[in-house]
């Protein structure tokens, strides 16, 4: 297995994403001009490949779909905590949960649910139906596994048109792992991950190689709550995958997250064709105290 370590890069916010699991309250993420621009650029540039075989795998198998375990403590970054009648810190604050702390390492599947689908360019986007999720046919050999092994595919049905330029700008699709439920776009508390995480690690590989996928952590900002992940800068990386399961790592560089994490992990990809299919695999996604 190949290992890659990634430093910090420019991140993005989920404000303005076209989501399949929209909040049930009035807190639907707003599409601002800044949010729209950020969303349009989350995917890797081009690189959509038709699905094919894979290598470097065992027949141990994997399962898809995370459990709906409730997330833990989170609040809007920088917002003051309140005190209720009983004098408990944070009482009455919808962004602070009193669930137990998740000890490191934290498998993202479980406390976070991979149900935060988003796609563009239209809102709501017909491209949402082009995102599919199944279990991996086979899972890479590992002494210890974290969470599930996921197989994702994306095929756009609509491209954004650029009438002035006379070209097609493309489309994007992706999935967020959200705290506690697939509707938590900043409407409630995040997961109370124990302090001291030094990296977020995961394995990824493509069906045929050459798939371009962007990965990120944190970045969920709603009207009520927001990620408190205090990175030196937000994390995002774009990788061209091979068919070999490769471990990637976000270097948190002393980042703190004192009031929880809503967006435990996310991926997005971009295409300029309605015929191309991007298919890739994700496994062992976790927050860990291990060095990147």
Picking from 14-23, 173-182, 240-249, which range would have the lowest pLDDT averaged per residue? 14-23
What mean pLDDT is predicted for residues 219-231?
86
Give the residues across from 240 on adjacent strands: 212
Alpha helix segments (H runs only) across 22-170 = 33-40
Q: How does pLDDT run across 91-114, given as a tens digit for each residue?
A: 577 887 767 899 999 999 999 999
Q: Are 224 and 16 in contact (CB under 8 A)?
A: no
Q: How far apart are CA 137 and CA 55, in angstroms?
A: 11
Picking from 74-83, 84-93, 154-163, 275-284, which range would have the lowest pLDDT averaged per residue? 74-83
Q: How far apart are CA 217 and CA 262, in angstroms?
A: 9
Picking from 15-24, 120-129, 215-224, which range would have the lowest pLDDT averaged per residue? 15-24
Most confident of 93-97, 125-129, 230-234: 125-129
Residues 6+ apart with CB under 8 A from 97: 70, 71, 72, 73, 74, 188, 189, 190, 192, 260
Q: How does pLDDT run across 241-282, given as a tens digit for each residue?
A: 999 999 999 988 888 888 889 999 999 999 999 999 999 999
What mean pLDDT is predicted for residues 208-219?
95
For residue 33, the model assigns a pLDDT of: 28
What mean pLDDT is predicted for residues 68-81?
32
Structure confidence at residue 224 as a pLDDT band (50, 70, 90): very high
Give the chain's mean pLDDT: 74
| pLDDT at 35 exceeding the cut of 90 | no
Q: How far apart are CA 206 and CA 204, in angstroms?
A: 7
What mean pLDDT is predicted for residues 226-245?
83
Which of the pair, 39 or 127, is modelled with greater confidence? 127
78 burial level (CB within 10 Å; 0-12, 13-18, 19+): exposed
Written as six digits, the tokens of 144 are: 């210890």
Picking from 8-22, 100-114, 145-159, 273-287, which range would have the lowest pLDDT averaged per residue? 8-22
| pLDDT at 225 exceeding the cut of 50 | yes
What mean pLDDT is predicted for residues 192-205?
95
């Amino acid at each position: 297995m190949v290992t890659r370590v990634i430093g910090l890069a420019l991140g993005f916010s989920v404000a303005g994403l076209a989501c399949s699991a929209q909040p049930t309250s009035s807190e639907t993420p707003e599409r601002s001009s800044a949010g729209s621009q950020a969303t349009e650029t989350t995917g890797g540039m081009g690189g959509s490949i038709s699905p094919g075989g894979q290598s470097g795998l065992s027949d141990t198998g994997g399962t898809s779909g995370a459990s709906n375990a409730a997330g833990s403590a989170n609040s809007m970054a920088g917002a003051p905590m309140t005190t209720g009648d009983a004098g408990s810190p944070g009482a009455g604050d919808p962004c602070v949960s009193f669930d137990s702390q998740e000890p490191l390492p934290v498998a993202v599947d479980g406390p976070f649910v991979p149900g935060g689908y988003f796609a563009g360019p239209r809102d709501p986007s017909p491209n949402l139906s082009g995102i599919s999720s199944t279990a991996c046919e086979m899972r890479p050999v590992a002494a210890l596994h974290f969470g599930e092994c996921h197989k994702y595919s994306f095929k756009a049905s609509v491209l954004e048109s650029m009438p002035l330029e006379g070209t097609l700008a493309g489309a994007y699709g992706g999935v967020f792992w959200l705290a506690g439920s697939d509707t938590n776009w900043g409407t409630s508390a995040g997961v109370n991950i124990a302090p001291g995480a030094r990296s977020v690690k995961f394995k990824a590989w493509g069906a045929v190689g050459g798939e371009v996928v962007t990965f990120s952590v944190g970045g969920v900002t709603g009207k009520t709550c927001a990620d408190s992940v205090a990175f030196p800068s937000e994390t995002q990386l774009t990788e061209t995958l091979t068919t070999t399961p490769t471990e990637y790592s976000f270097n948190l560089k002393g980042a703190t997250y004192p009031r929880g994490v809503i967006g435990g992990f996310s991926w997005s990809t971009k295409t300029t064709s309605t015929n191309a299919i991007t298919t890739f695999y994700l496994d062992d996604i976790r927050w860990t105290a291990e060095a990147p």
